[in-house]
Amino acid sequence: MTPHDPLSAGRYLEAVARQLHLPNPLAAAQGGLFELDDVPVQMEFMAHRSALRLSLEIGDPTADHAADVHAHWLALQHVLSTRLDAWFALDTLNNRHLFILQVPLVQESDARSTALTVKRAVAQVREWRDTVLQGRLIDYEQLLMRQLGEQPHEDLL
C-alpha cells in the first residue's frame, strides 16, 4: 500500500514504526526523533514525491578533523548522487550533521520492507562511524563523563 494523502501516510509511517518496534510509534510517524541502534532518526512523508524522507544523525566532527570529514562527505555524496536520492546536510537550526535518504514509495511498498530500508540506512551510518569516521567524531558521552568526573559529587546532588 502506498500512501497518497497525509492521513494514510500517518498510518503507514506508524505501521513502519511498529515494525521497527519503537516505543512510541505514533510520535515517530509524526516526525518525532527516535533512536535505532544508537542513531537518531526522523521519518517524514513527502507527499509531492510519494516518498519517505529519512534524516539520520551521523555525528559531529571534531575541530581537528572537520575539514577532512566534510571533504569525505562531499566525495561520497558525489558517488551517491548517481545511485540514490541521498545527500549529507548540516541542520543549522538543531546543529546536527545528517545523512538524508529519500525512499520512493511504490505500489508494492509495505511497512515491513520500508522498515528494513530504515534499518539498512541506520546500519550504513553505523558502518561509517565505525570505519572512515572512527576517531573523527565528537564523543559526547565520553566528554560528559569526563566533565562529571571532574566535579565533586556534592555538586551533582
Question: Would you state the torsion angle of the CA atoms of residues 114, 117, 119, 120, taken in this order, to the nearest 10 degrees?
Answer: 170
Provide the pLDDT for residue 3: 65
Give me 82's grid cell: 548517481
The answer to whether residue 42 is domain-embedded is yes
CATH number at residue 138: 3.30.1460.10
Q: What is the pLDDT of residue 135?
A: 86
The answer to whether residue 140 is domain-embedded is: yes
Q: How many domains does the chain have?
A: 1
Which phi and psi (to 5°) does residue 30 adopt? Answer: -95, 15
pTM confidence score: 0.84
The answer to the question of residue 73 being in a domain is yes
State how far the Cα of 26 lies from the Cα of 40, in Å rounded to an integer.
16
Domain that holds residue 65: 6-156
Q: Identify the H or E element spanning 131.
A: none
Q: Is 145 inside a domain boundary?
A: yes
Residue at grid coordinates 534499518: 119
pLDDT in tens, the chain (157 residues): 556 666 788 899 999 999 999 999 999 999 999 999 999 999 999 888 889 999 999 988 888 988 998 888 888 888 888 877 899 998 888 878 999 999 988 877 899 999 999 999 999 999 999 988 888 888 877 777 777 776 544 444 3
**CB 57, CB 98: distance < 8 Å:** yes
| Residue 130 belongs to a domain | yes
Per the domain annotation, does 1 fall within a domain? no
